[in-house]
C-alpha cells in the first residue's frame, strides 16, 4: 500500500497497530465529536477496513497474524484483544504514543472514531460516541475495566507487583494551555535486568490553546515522602506504549507516553509534577 493509501505500522514487541494517513482524515473543528454512534462508526470504518484489517497488517478479519506459537501482529477482535486492553482509553494510548508522521496527522477524535468501529467489530455496543471523556469507562465483553494498578497491554520484561491503588483513575490537571492526565499506574520489582522498586506511569498531554507546546520528560518530577524529587529513568521496558520523549504537540493532536521512576521503597511517592518553566505547572496528587 503506497501513496495516498499508505498506512503506518507501529511495531512494539509483537504488537502492531496501523493508523490511516492524512489522506483518510476528515475536516476537523474544535468540536469535532460525531453527532451519533452511527455517525462515528461511519467515520471510523474506512480507517479500520483499509489500513488495519488487511492481510499485510492484522488479517483480513482482524484475527491477527501468527508467528509459530505467538503473534507477530496481535488480533484486533476477540478475547485476546479485549483482555490486553481493559478499556477503550488503553487502545487510544497505544495508538497515540506512536511518533510516525502520518499517525501524528490524525486528530485525537479521529483515533477515537476508529476505535469505536473496532469495538463494534468486537460486539461492544456504544451508548454514545466515544470521546476522551468516556473512553476510560468504555468496556464490555472480555474488557475487564481492571486496568488500575496494572500495566496494559502486558509487558514481557516487567514484573508487576501488587500494591494499593493510590486513587481512582484517570487523574487529570490542567491550566489554560495544557492538560495532563494519568491513565495507568503500576509498580514493578524488576524491569529486564534492573531489580528494585519501580513506578510505571502512562500519561497523556493535550494542547488546550491555539499555539504549539513542546512537552518533555525533562520537566517531569515525582515527589517522594522525604521531599526528594525523582527524575524519569531511561530503563528499557518492553511495551506497546512508547516511552515519553520530547515533542511538540498542537491543538487536537496530543501525545501519550510511558515514564518510569525508581523508588526507594514501595509506595514511596506522593505527587507527579510537570513544570516547563514557561507558565505550565501541573500537579497530580497520586494519593488521597
- Tens digits of residue pLDDT in 111-146: 999 999 999 999 999 999 999 999 999 999 999 988
Residue 7 clears pLDDT 60, i.e. is over it: no
Q: Are residues 42 and 163 in the same domain?
A: no
Q: Are residues 101 and 174 in the same domain?
A: no
- Spell out the residues 6+ positions from residue 277 whose beta carbon is closer than 8 angstroms to its own: 219
Q: Among 93, 108, 137, give the residue marking a domain's end.
A: 137
Q: pLDDT higher for 196 or 168?
A: 196
Owning domain of residue 162: 158-285
Produce one character per residue of 201-235: b if its CB has 16 or more CB atoms within 10 Å, e if not: bbbbbbbeeeeebebebebbbbbbeeeeebebeeb
Domain membership of residue 146 (yes or no) is no
CA angle 90, 91, 94 (to 5 degrees): 85
Q: Are residues 45 and 167 in the same domain?
A: no
Looking up residue 263, the CATH number of its domain turns out to be 2.60.40.1240
Q: What is the pLDDT of residue 17?
A: 40
Contact 152, 90 (CB under 8 A): yes
Q: Are residues 130 and 188 in the same domain?
A: no
Q: Are residues 221 and 190 in the same domain?
A: yes
Residue 59 clears pLDDT 60, i.e. is over it: no
Q: Are residues 170 and 252 in the same domain?
A: yes
Q: Are residues 123 and 18 in the same domain?
A: yes
Contact 228, 256 (CB under 8 A): no
Q: Are residues 49 and 95 in the same domain?
A: yes
Domain membership of residue 143 (yes or no) is no
Q: Are residues 133 and 165 in the same domain?
A: no
Global pTM value: 0.87
**Closest residue by Cα to residue 270 from 228, 232, 234:** 228
Q: Are residues 170 and 118 in the same domain?
A: no
Q: Among 103, 137, 171, give the residue marking a domain's end.
A: 137
Domain membership of residue 150 (yes or no) is no
Q: What is the pLDDT of residue 2?
A: 28
Phi-psi region of 194 (alpha: psi -120 to 50; beta: other; left: phi over 0): beta
Which residue bears the cell 491513565?
183
Total number of domains in the chain: 2
Report how far residue 83's alpha carbon sits from residue 233's, in angstroms, rounded to the nearest whole number. 29
Q: Are residues 84 and 163 in the same domain?
A: no
Q: Among 105, 137, 169, give the residue marking a domain's end.
A: 137
Q: pLDDT higher for 165 or 10?
A: 165
Amino acid at each position: 500500500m503506497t501513496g495516498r493509501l499508505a498506512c503506518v505500522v507501529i511495531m512494539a514487541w509483537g504488537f502492531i497497530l496501523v493508523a490511516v494517513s492524512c489522506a483518510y482524515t476528515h475536516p476537523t473543528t474544535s468540536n469535532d465529536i460525531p453527532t451519533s454512534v452511527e455517525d462515528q462508526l461511519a467515520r471510523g470504518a474506512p480507517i479500520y477496513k483499509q489500513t488495519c484489517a488487511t492481510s499485510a497488517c492484522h488479517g483480513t478479519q482482524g484475527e491477527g497474524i501468527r508467528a509459530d506459537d505467538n503473534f507477530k501482529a496481535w488480533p484486533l477482535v476477540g478475547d485476546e484483544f479485549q483482555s490486553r486492553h481493559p478499556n477503550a482509553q488503553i487502545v487510544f494510548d497505544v495508538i497515540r504514543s506512536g511518533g510516525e508522521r502520518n499517525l501524528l496527522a490524525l486528530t485525537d477524535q479521529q483515533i477515537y472514531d476508529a476505535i469505536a468501529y473496532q469495538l463494534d467489530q468486537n460486539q461492544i455496543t456504544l451508548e454514545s460516541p466515544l470521546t476522551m471523556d468516556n473512553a476510560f469507562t468504555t468496556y464490555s465483553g472480555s474488557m475487564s475495566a481492571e486496568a488500575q494498578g496494572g500495566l496494559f497491554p502486558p509487558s514481557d520484561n516487567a514484573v508487576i507487583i501488587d500494591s494499593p491503588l493510590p486513587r481512582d483513575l484517570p487523574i487529570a490537571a490542567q491550566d489554560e494551555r495544557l492538560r495532563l492526565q494519568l491513565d495507568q499506574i503500576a509498580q514493578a520489582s524488576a524491569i529486564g535486568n534492573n531489580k528494585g522498586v519501580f513506578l510505571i506511569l502512562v500519561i497523556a498531554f493535550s494542547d488546550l490553546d491555539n499555539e504549539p507546546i513542546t512537552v518533555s520528560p525533562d520537566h517531569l518530577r515525582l515527589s517522594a515522602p522525604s521531599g526528594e524529587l525523582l527524575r524519569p529513568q531511561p530503563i528499557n521496558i518492553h511495551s506497546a506504549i512508547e516511552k515519553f520523549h520530547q515533542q511538540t504537540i498542537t491543538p487536537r493532536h496530543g501525545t501519550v507516553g510511558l515514564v518510569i521512576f525508581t523508588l526507594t521503597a514501595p509506595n514511596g511517592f506522593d505527587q507527579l509534577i510537570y513544570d516547563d518553566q514557561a507558565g505550565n505547572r501541573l500537579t497530580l496528587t497520586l494519593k488521597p
